[in-house]
Amino acid sequence: KRSCTDVGCALLFFAFLYGLWATYLGARREGNIEKLTRGFDWKGDICGVDPGVEDKPMLFWCTAAAPSARLTLLDGVCVPRCPRDAQSASWCPGTPMPFQHRSPEADGTQQVMIGMVRNLTLRADYPTVPALSYCFPTQDMVMLRRILRDTHLTTLTQQVYLACRGAMESWRFLVAVAAASAGIGYAFLFVLWLCFAHLIYGLVFVAHVLFGFCCYTAVRAGLNEHDNILAGYFEAETAQAAAWATAVACAACWFVFSAL
């Protein structure tokens, strides 16, 4: 008759599950889980979620304004679909320029407004492929490396994309490896079926040889200080005692193995 053998552990397990569920509900209520799977455009809007970009679920990185300019995740723009060629263009933000505006108040104080200004310019698109709500270049490998290196993509997203891309590019090699693995596995099973007894006898013989060699080496080290590798680390008496102890332990293991 089956029954619970550890009630205390079961209670702790269910309490743990309840804590996970409560944490999940709190995260759904207080936060936005879409932030984990979608990109942010240069204004901080979540592509495909926030007002104004609900119909633009993909994040596309514009080409840099200058060759030396650094790409960041905030330089991306939300687009309805990833560009497939260079025939289209997107409105892309320029370099941030800080500004400060002072306005005097009637009571003699001043109000200071500080912010950033970014000019939008049309820049040509480039061929991309959609993956994980992002648009990754398909031809410009320099651009792809800059995106993976310079943007704030999570490490998991980078690893998943690189793994998928590597699998697509090396699918023939992966298929060959899978076929070879299956063939080697079946060949091993065939060898076991054909000569299992001989294989066991061979392994037993090798084990006896190893035990004998171990005992011989330990006894020789105990009799001859020059053959004792422990003599360089311990005193002569300690090294000799360790060698004899090793010989006795090896002989005992050999005896037990032979008896079994």
The predicted pLDDT at position 189 comes to: 86
Q: How far apart are CA 79 and CA 90, in angstroms?
A: 9
Amino acid at 30: E
Q: How far apart are CA 170 and CA 178, in angstroms?
A: 12
Instruction: Spell out where 62-208 has E strands.
Output: 76-79, 89-93, 97-104, 110-117, 120-124, 128-131, 134-137
From the number of C-beta atoms within 10 Å of its C-beta (0-12, 13-18, 19+), residue 250 rates as: buried
Alpha-carbon gap, residue 38 to 47, rounded angstroms: 6
Residue of 87, 90, 86 whose CA lies nearest to 76? 90
User: pLDDT truncated to tens, each residue of the chain (260 aa)?
Assistant: 677 778 888 899 999 999 999 998 888 888 777 777 788 888 888 888 888 888 999 999 887 666 555 555 567 899 999 998 888 888 888 878 888 888 887 777 888 888 888 888 888 888 888 877 888 888 877 777 777 766 656 555 656 666 666 666 667 777 888 899 999 999 988 888 888 777 788 888 898 999 899 888 888 888 888 877 777 777 888 888 888 888 899 999 888 888 87
